[in-house]
Amino acid sequence: MPRPTFFNLQEEKQQTLLQAAKKEFTRVSLAEASIANIVKEADIPRGSFYQYFENKQDLYFYLLNEHLKEKREELITNLRKHCGDIFASIRDLLQSLLTEMEEEGTYQFYRNVFLNMDYRTEKAFMNLMNYNTLDKKYDLIKRLINRKSLNIDNEEELLQVVQIVSLIMTDNLIQKFGKEMTNEEVIHNYKTQIRLLKKGFAKE
């Protein structure tokens, strides 16, 4: 997380810095990004950067999580709209991400994110399913998902189902960039995979 100093900055300066960071992380991946470029673009001295953030990673994950906050809200909306249908809700979220990526800059940004997704990044995406407000941790899953239509016997199985569906969404996005697939191909794959998951892999 950014240091308190960052949040003490006036909103405008914060935004300038975040914009500069996004520009750099759109150009190249986290590993290749350089703080020099970011501070140059934002027109702040190098020393200041370290007043605001611990390091490059700190800024990167803050930026990513801010992005994902919106997606989390969207997922909640989807779950309400689809009466707790987790498959349709995540399908719509995937579709929304894909649409967002039709814009050149956003495409490159996400490309850099997904092709270099380590554990910490994966966790950020998986946490789409968890909703933190204040100190309490509301579990989206338990509150909104319709379990009636799911073939599960207990909480553990519910958690695993959610884990697998999230995993598949994430993997489809990684595949998109890795194999340069069109949005239609991605959605097609997701649908095929979900159909298989629903009907079960074993015959009979």
The residue (of 9 and 35) whose beta carbon lies closer to a second copy is 35
* From 12, 119, 134, 184, residue interacting with a second copy (rule: CB under 8 A): 119
52 binding partner (options a second copy, DNA, none; Cβ < 5 to 8 Å by kind)? DNA
80 binding partner (options a second copy, DNA, none; Cβ < 5 to 8 Å by kind)? none
In the complex, least distance from residue 111 CB atom to a second copy, rounded to whole angstroms:
10
- Pattern 138-157, a second copy, x by CB under 8 A: ----------xxxxx---xx
The reply to whether 152 sits near DNA by the rule CB under 7 A is no
Distance CA 87, CA 89 (A): 5
DSSP 184: H
The residue (of 74 and 122) whose beta carbon lies closer to a second copy is 122
The pair of structure tokens assigned to 121 is: 């990044």
Q: Phi and psi for 165 in degrees, rounded to 5?
A: -65, -40
List CB contacts of 29: < 8 A, sequence separation 6 or more. 112, 115, 116
34 binding partner (options DNA, a second copy, none; Cβ < 5 to 8 Å by kind)? DNA
One-letter amino acid of 36: A
* From 58, 74, 122, 185, residue interacting with a second copy (rule: CB under 8 A): 122
Distance CA 189, CA 112 (A): 22
* From 46, 123, 142, 143, residue interacting with a second copy (rule: CB under 8 A): 123
The reply to whether 5 sits near DNA by the rule CB under 7 A is yes
Kindly identify the residues of this chain, within the stretch 33-72, that bind DNA according to CB under 7 A.
33-37, 44-48, 50-52, 55-56
| 3-state secondary structure labels for all residues of 110-144 | HHHHHCCCCHHHHHHHHHHHEEEECCEEEEHHHHH
Q: Which of 102, 104, 108 is nearest to 33 (CA)?
A: 108
Q: How many residues in the chain?
A: 204
Which residues of the chain form contacts with DNA (CB under 7 A)? 4-5, 8-9, 33-37, 44-48, 50-52, 55-56
